[in-house]
Structure 1
Amino acid sequence: MRTDVKRTSALGTLIVLGGNDIPWITALEQAGWRCYRCYDLRAAEALLLEVGPCIGVVDLTQDNFSLNGVAGVVNRNKQARWLALAREDQLNTEAICQFIVSFCIDYFTSPVPESQLLKTIGHQRGMLQLERKVWPELGQFGQHGLQGNTAVMKKLRHQVKRMAAADMPVFVQGEIGTGKELVAQAIHQASTRAKGRFVTVSCEAVTSAWLVDGATPSGPGQCCFSAADKGVLFLDEIALLSDDRQLELCRLLEDGSFTTECGRAVHTDVRLVVSTRFPLEELLAEGNIREDLYYRLNVLGLTVPALRERGEDILLLADYLLTKFSRQYNSIAKSLSEEAQKLLLNYPWPGNVRELISQLKRAILLSESKVIEVEHLDLPRITDDKQSLKKIREESERSALLSVLENNKGQISAAARELGVSRATMYRLLNKHDLVPPPRQQYRQG
């Protein structure tokens, strides 16, 4: 995958998922296009977030990825205009047809008619230019959570850039929701391991054989070290890793290999990035991390600033998220009122970036105008007109719930995640508006 994402003179950006030799890419590059090939969905998703609006091509002919995995990436990255390449025999498969109809603006069968494809790509570039006039902020920023002009964010980006160049372990500290995984992904993307996988593992879920369900694109059963070989392994919340696993990790850092309790021999070439929400001195003082492991991991360290420390950058981030989610949810909301901006700046944000994302998603779904007002935000304020807020909620909650349920095909857990609420809260809201059947019928199989 090419990594020169800073060239601004390119005619356009094209990202291809999967496939083998593609001759027409050379013609596009000679014409001035910036082209990337991706064979890892995590890396592709990070790249899509970084480059913003672009043309995306899903090459289904070689079966490089599971269709569900590709569909997830495509669905989450609607800033790209997607084309599909398929074999003629694949068009007899219902799942392939459903994918193309649901996510793609056009498709071509192999052998690909090169002149027709290039013409279509050129036309879609024109459509992107029109979109930029309607959504001028879309794609303006890089990874959400890392942009900003304050000193703390400039320092963070500088640290990420310097640490990416050194192939050593990194210890990322920060409160819950600050974007520690985003920092780890940025280090991975800017490093010499960018072509390798970025694998995220929750330390709480690690087994004696380092097998974590759902931790890798290969599914359950694969050792996370094998999955991240030649790439980056992100261990989320190192304080939750058992002492036995910490000892094995220490041996890996010292010798490059170890044998698990299950007898599995582990040999790997990974770069470790670990995170914690606890102050580092507290980890040692309370015995949550082995001292020998701590000093091997804490070669390079950085702290992700809390959202309340980012000053005016909160508004930059909010504008970016508003543009992103408004387009994703087909909303007309495009800006924040002055009162809403003041509310965001004055709120302490205990949940950090994660809480801001939830608040803006909720406001976008509740708003029926181009401007997000304070009443659309579920945040405490001194001059809170509770009766007015209650009225707005009563009138708009039901339609918002119906919309998010429709987007998630009636899946309550998925709808709750989209709204940024717990499953219990989701059921309470559904019951409040008579949108859930009686308990006796909830578990009936259709």
Structure 2
Amino acid sequence: MESAGWLCHRCYDLRTAESLLLEIGPCIGVVDLSHDDFSIHSFSAMVNRNKQVRWIAIVRDEQLANEAIGQFIVNFCLDYFSVPIPSDRLLQTIGHQIGMLNLERKVWPQLGNFGQQGLQGSTTVMKKLRDQVKRIALSDVSVVISGEIGTGKILVADAVFQASARAKQQVVRVNCETMTADWIIETEHGAQSVFEAANNGVLVLEEFTALTDACQQALYQVLVDGSYCGPKGKTIAVDMRIISITHHSLDNLVTLATLRRELYFRLNVVSLTVPPLRERSDDIILLAEFLLLKYARQYNSVAKSLSEQAQAMLLQYPWPGNVRELICQIKRAVLLAENKCIEADQLDIPRLIDDKLSLKKVREESERNALLTVLENNKGQISAAARELGVSRATMYRLLNKHQLIPPPRCFRQSHA
């Protein structure tokens, strides 16, 4: 490939590959599966996170009988080659895909310019956050990620995990609002202890301040002892990294009466704060254009740009729902677009005509609009809508009740599976 004049990068582990793809953006990726020294689950997760890459797989013929490998190739790869590799055909395929990539860059010039989702932006606060993620990820200490609702805290947690030495291991995400005192969850392997599932990997605690006192006490004991009580009272050693997420500010966490201080200091070895969108105003148009191109391609929409009036509206709006609200707005506009240019009146943003309009009212109206949009996108399925917003079903129901949006059974049916 190098003799053909192409710039090639070799990566021997997923963490290095993830870091490289973050820097170079859209490219051709060749995944060598022929040596059986890989986890297809980890490969799939990395490839799924880097959809800006055109993937080609290399396998042995007998591996094609493996269902997981077959699904990986069909779901994520443009083509595959069996060993011994037919060099001429491989070079021809890569050359054609590079041509397609160059053509795509002409049609979608901004796509992929922002690297890994959740860390995009050129403002000082986002550059600082990216640098902190890179430095913190390489250590193995516990991390607390704070930030307002909708700022992308879970995406930042994923970035820390992906850049860490544990990237090949399991990541277990726990909604602390619904966590029971026994710390048992349902996994693909059946009912398991959270600590068993996260052993040697990473445990992500979403809204960890919502843990009951009994759960906090149990977690603290596991962190102190480095073990937990397994079946039949057997003591089992556990090695896991913990990433804790909260919408509370770091200052509020210290004084939060419901949070055990001894647990907090165990969890908060280092901390990251994800800035609200209003503190990254220079990123708003860049993010909006990136999201527009992303969803236009995903939904095969004609939309390609934002009018000057639409951009001005995006800039003057305070974005109480942060990046999550911006995503909902752009996705909705793209889905409903009839022309290449999205105009201001196609954005479902509250008009701030009254200068005395309270921030509380703006936040409530924005929150209600975001809920309506996500329900519309998911055809009224509350569980699916909750997953898109990154909240639990319980939180989703509270928000729907708050805004009197509980859908009647005849309109929206929920799955009880």
TM-score of the aligned structures, taking structure 1 as reference length: 0.69
Aligned to 2:370: none
CA contact (8 A) 1:55 1:82 kept: yes
Shift in CA distance, 93/35, structure 1 to aligned 2, threshold 3 Å: closer
Which among 258, 273, 287 is matched to residue 243 of structure 2? 273
Instruction: Return the offset for 1:365.
Output: 1.0
Shift in CA distance, 29/224, structure 1 to aligned 2, threshold 3 Å: farther
Deviates more, 1:373-382 or 1:218-227: 218-227
CA contact (8 A) 1:143 1:182 kept: no
Q: In the alignment, residue 219 of structure 2 is paired with which amino acid?
A: L
CA contact (8 A) 1:46 1:185 kept: no
Distance 2:283 2:185 in 1: 36
Deviates more, 1:85-94 or 1:202-211: 85-94
Shift in CA distance, 419/269, structure 1 to aligned 2, threshold 3 Å: closer
Aligned to 2:109: 136
Which among 99, 105, 121 is matched to residue 78 of structure 2? 105
Shift in CA distance, 114/278, structure 1 to aligned 2, threshold 3 Å: same
Deviates more, 1:180-189 or 1:258-267: 258-267
Aligned to 1:33: 8
Which among 24, 49, 54 is matched to residue 27 of structure 2? 54
Instruction: Return the offset for 1:229.
Output: 3.6
Instruction: Return the offset for 1:352.
Output: 1.2
List runs of 5+ in structure 1 lacking aligned partners: 1-10, 12-26, 385-399, 432-437
Deviates more, 1:273-282 or 1:301-310: 273-282
Distance 2:109 2:72 in 1: 29
Which among 285, 291, 314 is matched to residue 284 of structure 2? 314
Q: In the alignment, residue 351 of structure 1 is paired with which amino acid?
A: G
Q: In the alignment, residue 105 of structure 1 is paired with which amino acid?
A: L
The C-alpha deviation readout for 1:353-385, integer Å capped at 9, x for no partner, is 11111111111111122222112211111579x
Distance 1:116 1:233 in 2: 44
Aligned to 1:24: none
Aligned to 2:300: 330
Distance 2:70 2:80 in 1: 10
Superposed, 1:352-367 pairs within 5 Å as 352-367=322-337
Root-mean-square deviation (CA, aligned residues, Å) is: 4.6
Instruction: Return the offset for 1:54.
Output: 2.7
Distance 1:212 1:364 in 2: 38
Distance 2:231 2:260 in 1: 18
Aligned to 2:265: 295
Which among 149, 159, 173 is matched to residue 132 of structure 2? 159
CA contact (8 A) 1:359 1:378 kept: yes
Q: In the alignment, residue 107 of structure 2 is paired with which amino acid?
A: V
Aligned to 1:206: 179
CA contact (8 A) 1:174 1:304 kept: yes
CA contact (8 A) 1:197 1:230 kept: yes
Are residue 170 (structure 1) and residue 140 (structure 2) matched?
Answer: no
Which among 164, 179, 186 is matched to residue 159 of structure 2? 186
CA contact (8 A) 2:144 2:268 kept: yes
Aligned to 2:365: none
CA contact (8 A) 1:205 1:212 kept: no
3-state SS of the aligned residue for 1:213?
strand
Aligned length: 382
